[in-house]
Amino acid sequence: MLIGERMSRPVISVTPDMPVHDARNLFKQENIRRAPVVNKGKMIGIVSDQDLINASPSLATSLSIWELNYLLSKIKVEDVMTKDVTTIDEDTPIEQAARLMADNKIGGLPVMRDGKVVGMITETDLFKIFLELMGAREMGIRVTALVEDKPGVLLKITQAISDIGGSFISFGQFTGEDISTKLLTFKVAGAEKEVVKKAIWDIAKEVWDIRECCN
């Protein structure tokens, strides 16, 4: 799965000379938390809702409403935007974007094609992908099991589920307790909980959790 398949589009951008007050209204209207700053077709920065909030006077200010409006009209997006922007290409694997965002504590990345912004990939987009990968919107038997990290174990698990007439809705593999183990989390349709438990019991090192879940 590549970024271009799951990025948010069309791109909602702002201009550097847009007043902060107008940008905040746009963010609320479009329900977004960040936007690229574009000038004459070229991205020159990015601005977040927090940047805009921080630039606005406190509600505890002694300024009058007219003074506030005048002050806000003078603060432009270019005054509060981040100029050093981390971007990503649309043909980048989705997990690479997730790693980049997690490692750098970034909530969203502009997606580029030939020097132009063509989309945004955000933490919300990644959450939606995670929900799909984990089968979170489908009913089934959800299993978390610790297994040995050695060849053939995954084959045994999948064969055991197939033998009882089950089919996988999702399948994830995570770091185990140490380098010798892996933690599996998967969801199965077409089989009862106790039947699934019995099928994998002798293959898994430990069955941590098994339940009917979720939609």
pLDDT digits (tens, 9 = 90+) for 81-119: 999 999 999 999 999 999 999 999 999 999 999 989 999
Last residue of some domain: 109, 130, 151?
130
Using pLDDT thresholds of 50, 70 and 90, give the confidence band for residue 193: very high
- In which domain, by residue range, is 156 found? 135-213
* 139 and 121 within one domain: no
Angle between helices 123-133 and 94-104 (to 10 degrees): 130
Tell me the C-alpha distance between 49 and 26, whole Å: 10
The CATH number given to whatever domain includes residue 176 is 3.30.70.260
The CATH number given to whatever domain includes residue 74 is 3.10.580.10
pLDDT score, position 60: 47
pLDDT score, position 71: 73
* 101 and 41 within one domain: yes
* 36 and 56 within one domain: yes
Per-residue pLDDT tens digits for 13-65 = 999 999 998 999 999 999 999 999 999 989 999 999 999 988 876 554 566 66
pLDDT score, position 138: 93
How many domains is the chain built from? 2
* 47 and 140 within one domain: no
Mean pLDDT value across the chain: 91
- The DSSP string of 147-174 is EE-STTHHHHHHHHHHHTT-EEEEEEEE
* 7 and 111 within one domain: yes
- Kindly state the percentage of the chain with pLDDT values over 70: 93
pLDDT score, position 73: 74
Amino acid at 72: L
* 26 and 111 within one domain: yes
* 68 and 14 within one domain: yes
pLDDT score, position 74: 81
* 84 and 45 within one domain: yes
> What average pLDDT does range 155-165 have in this prediction?
97
How many degrees, rounded to 5, is the angle at CA 69 between CA 68 and CA 71? Answer: 65
Residues in CB range of 215: below 8 A, 6 or more apart: 137, 138, 139
pLDDT score, position 57: 63
Rg, Å, the chain Cα set: 24
Q: Which of 95, 22, 12 is CA-nearest to residue 46?
A: 12
Tell me the whole-structure pTM to 2 decimals.
0.79
Last residue of some domain: 91, 108, 130?
130
* 120 and 24 within one domain: yes
Last residue of some domain: 130, 155, 182?
130
φ, ψ for residue 126 (rounded to 5)?
-70, -35
**Which residues on neighbouring strands pair with residue 52, listed in sequence order?**
none
